[in-house]
């Protein structure tokens, strides 16, 4: 049976009169959409209050990024019965979103105005930008796989119940997928009380993968059988708008202002790695870890789409101001375990050397102390991780010491920092190095070493060999403007599955940019540096 209801009924399905509050029943509410949500659960679900007076309407939505919601475009249409066309820009009606408040009578969570709409023209879907970022609430993850027939999904929303006109609580229920095709997915409740009612338009449908929630659609229409005011209707199916096949578009819209929200002048350490997902799937860009001067620590998740202007899709605050990260003196990322994800190695101000074998949205995992406080590692000036030695199971650690000498420690995940190979002696000229990074520049089986010098030169030593001048390749000449590069990291920021030869630069101002695919062919002459700079901030 089709879940579609007549267009003429759609208007009633998404409008909720402001006078309706007087019709609340005194009896205990029993949600048609299922059970009342406990405080803190499905906190990414938002309630939208659109317009005032007789024109007021309510919808539900989902937080997909700190400053962006996704919901049904028909919530904002002038005449929803005539279609879901919405003009991009500020909403015509004043719209307020409440996020992270399962019980609307309380004052927790965030209340913010919607300041911009970005509609998707081919379906009942719109992105809604909030006036300020939402903190303390984890956005829902985006699903990239199509809903399968028979698959179970959860739906959460603030709509009407069978005996309550304007509920004070969010409710949720389990639904089964009947079919998914084109831009839509048909769903039906798994029990008699699971129905989508008025005010649930835009409500998220999501998978529960071991406590990780993955968005697959938002509600567009419903038969509303059994909802208050529709007691005579027996049909209970619903039609959702799919989001899985446009998840990349959602990311590209929601990440437009992501990097601009930070003051990059205060980014003290930057390291790139596959922290939040396995690099072997070839579908993701690298993530970026940032330790700020005030002790904050952030993780920027790599995007799944190909838009070069927006390489990251979300920011996760791992530590707050004043944390121990203000004592980090050198940071690098690498593969230190068999999990398929990357971790961090940190040289602290007190001489301690630590490795976190894994870093993700939830924080730092499995810290291993490689050298105790007060060790000789207080003399390590620069460090970088890479697969410098052939057939290594894990990344090696290359160190530039204060006296200008360099050392390499192989397979650090297993042997710690005990297996040292000295590469150069002190005063061999490497004390003029400002930054070092591992880069896949020459396309060999091992990583190459990139060094940025005080005089603006940037050079690559193929295979990580720092001995002598053999094989040294010039990337930027003496006096080049990279003297203003305050932080440099190398990774895959261009497109999913690419090599690690994009160079990201944090300048000594507030600017941030990267150079994609820096290879010998990308350097046109000895007088010029990499071309194709992509400005991210500034």
Portion of the chain with pLDDT greater than 70, in percent: 85
Asked whether residue 14 carries a pLDDT value surpassing 80, the answer given is: no
Other CB atoms within 10 A of residue 381 CB:
18
- Cα–Cα distances (Å) from 229 to 13, 16, 35, 221, 311, in that order, read 11, 12, 20, 16, 47
pLDDT category at 468 given cuts 50, 70, 90 is low
Q: Could you read off the pLDDT of 240-275 as tens digits, one per residue?
A: 999 999 999 999 999 999 999 999 999 999 999 999
Q: Is 222 helix (H, G, I), strand (E, B) or coil?
A: strand
Residue 356 has pLDDT above 50, yes or no: yes
What average pLDDT does this structure show over 444-467? Answer: 85
* Residue 453: predicted pLDDT: 95
- Helix, strand, coil proportions of the chain in percent (round to 5)? 15, 40, 50
The domains found in the chain, sorted by start residue, are 7-249 (2.40.10.120), 255-537 (2.120.10)
Q: Which of 3-7, 277-281, 496-500 has the lowest mean pLDDT?
A: 3-7
What pLDDT band is residue 416 in, cutting at 50, 70 and 90? low
Distance of CA 199 to the CA centre of its chain: 28
- Using CA atoms, how far apart are residues 329 and 350, in angstroms rounded to an integer? 9
Ramachandran angles phi, psi of 472, nearest 5°: -70, 130
Mean pLDDT of the chain: 85
Q: What average pLDDT score do residues 28-47 get?
A: 69
pLDDT, residue 246, reads: 96
Q: How far apart (Å, rounded) are the C-alpha atoms in residues 526 and 520?
A: 11
Nearest-CA neighbor of 289 among 370, 363, 353, 352?
A: 363
pLDDT over 90 for what percent of the chain?
57
pLDDT band at 33 (very low <50, low <70, confident <90, very high): very low
Query: What is the pLDDT at residue 198?
Result: 77
pLDDT at 312 over 50: yes
Instruction: Supply the pLDDT for residue 8.
Output: 28
User: Which pLDDT belongs to residue 420?
Assistant: 74
Residue 3 binned pLDDT confidence (cut-offs 50, 70, 90)? very low
pLDDT tens across 137-191, in order? 999 999 999 999 999 999 998 877 666 656 778 888 899 999 999 999 999 988 8
For residue 398, the model assigns a pLDDT of: 93
348: closest CA among 363, 362, 364, 369? 369
106 three-state secondary structure: coil
Which residue is listed with tokens 């209970």? 236
16-27 burial, b at 16+ Cβ within 10 Å, e below that, comes to: bbbebeeeeeee
List, for residues 18-30, the tens digit of each pLDDT value: 223 222 222 222 3
Residue 432: DSSP 8-state: G
Q: Looking at residue 30, what is its pLDDT?
A: 31
pTM assigned to the model: 0.84
Task: Count the residues in the chain.
Answer: 538
Instruction: Please write the tens of the pLDDT for every residue from 99-148.
Output: 999 888 898 899 999 999 999 999 999 999 999 999 889 999 999 999 99
Instruction: Look at residue 54 in the predicted model and tell me its pLDDT.
Output: 78
The larger pLDDT score, comparing residue 289 to residue 468, is at 289
Residue 400 CB contacts under 8 Å (≥ 6 apart), including other chains: 380, 381, 382, 383, 406, 430, 433, 436
């Amino acid at each position: 049976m089709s879940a579609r209801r007549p267009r003429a009924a759609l208007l009633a399905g998404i409008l909720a009169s402001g006078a309706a509050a007087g019709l609340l029943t005194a009896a205990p509410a029993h949600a048609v959409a299922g059970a009342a949500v406990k405080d803190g659960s499905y906190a990414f679900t938002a309630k939208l209050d659109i317009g005032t007076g007789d024109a007021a309407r309510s919808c539900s939505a989902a937080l997909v990024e700190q400053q962006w919601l996704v919901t049904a475009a028909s919530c904002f249409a002038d005449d929803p019965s005539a279609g879901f066309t919405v003009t991009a820009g500020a909403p015509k009606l004043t719209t307020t979103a409440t996020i992270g408040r399962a019980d609307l009578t309380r004052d927790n969570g965030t209340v913010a105005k919607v300041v911009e709409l970005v509609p998707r023209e081919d379906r009942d879907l719109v992105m809604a930008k909030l006036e300020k970022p939402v903190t303390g609430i984890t956005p829902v993850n985006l699903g990239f796989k199509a809903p399968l027939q028979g698959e179970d999904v959860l739906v959460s929303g603030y709509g009407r119940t069978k005996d309550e006109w304007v509920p004070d609580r969010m409710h949720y229920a389990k639904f089964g997928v009947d079919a998914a095709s084109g831009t839509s997915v048909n769903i039906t409740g798994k029990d008699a009380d699971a129905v989508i009612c008025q005010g649930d338009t835009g409500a998220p449908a999501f998978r529960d993968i071991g406590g990780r929630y993955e968005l697959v659609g938002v509600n567009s229409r419903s038969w509303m059988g059994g909802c208050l005011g529709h007691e005579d209707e027996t049909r209970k199916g619903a039609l959702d708008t799919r989001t899985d096949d446009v998840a990349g578009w959602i990311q590209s819209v929601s990440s437009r202002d992501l990097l601009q929200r930070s003051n990059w002048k205060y980014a003290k350490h930057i390291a790139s790695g596959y922290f939040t997902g396995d690099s072997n799937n070839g579908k993701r860009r690298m993530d970026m870890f940032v330790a700020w001067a005030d002790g904050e620590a952030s993780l920027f998740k790599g995007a799944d789409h190909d838009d070069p202007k927006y390489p990251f899709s979300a920011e996760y605050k791992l530590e707050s101001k004043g944390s121990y990260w203000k004592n980090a003196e050198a940071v690098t990322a690498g593969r230190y375990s068999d999990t398929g994800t990357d971790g961090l190695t940190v040289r602290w101000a007190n001489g301690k050397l630590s490795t976190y074998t894994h870093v993700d949205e939830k924080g730092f995992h499995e810290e291993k102390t490689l050298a105790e406080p007060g060790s000789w590692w207080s003399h390590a000036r620069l460090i970088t991780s890479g697969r410098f030695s052939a057939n290594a199971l894990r990344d090696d650690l290359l160190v530039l010491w204060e006296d200008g000498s360099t050392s390499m420690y192989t397979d650090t995940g297993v042997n710690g920092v005990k297996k040292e190979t000295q590469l150069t002696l002190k005063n061999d000229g490497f004390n003029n190095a400002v930054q070092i990074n591992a880069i896949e520049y020459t396309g060999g089986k091992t990583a190459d070493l990139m060094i940025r010098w005080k005089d603006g030169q940037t050079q690559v030593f193929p295979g990580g060999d720092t001995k002598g001048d053999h094989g040294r390749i010039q990337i930027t000449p003496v006096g080049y403007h990279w003297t203003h590069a305050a932080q440099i990291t190398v990774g895959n920021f261009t497109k999913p599955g690419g090599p690690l030869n994009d160079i990201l630069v944090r300048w000594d101002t507030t600017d941030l940019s990267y150079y994609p695919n820096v290879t010998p062919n990308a350097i046109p002459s000895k007088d010029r540096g990499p071309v194709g700079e992509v400005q991210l901030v500034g």
